[in-house]
Amino acid sequence: MTSTPGDGPNLAASQKTQVLLATQSTRLVDEFAPENLLIVERDEEKKCSLFRQLDREQLKDWLDRYSLSELWEKNVLGGQP
């Protein structure tokens, strides 16, 4: 994160604040590190949502060749509607 003069309050707030964002935009996920993304899938049998955090190390070989958005489009990440 970069900071400029006058960013003190914004920088402090960003260190204390967590943002939850749900999206269907594949391109938006490219703006985040894999470990900052949660994949949510519906378990129809148990009637619940399953949350899974991505692991950069597990995706290493994929990320050498593809972007996160491409992996999502290929359903490698899961979370497809």
What is this structure's pTM? 0.71
Tokens read off for 8 = 């003190």
pLDDT digits (tens, 9 = 90+) for 6-64: 555 555 556 777 778 888 888 899 999 999 999 999 999 999 999 999 999 999 999 99
Supply the DSSP symbol for 34: G
The C-alpha atoms of residue 67 and residue 30 are separated, in whole angstroms, by 7
Predicted local distance difference test score (pLDDT) of residue 14 = 66
Predicted local distance difference test score (pLDDT) of residue 19 = 79
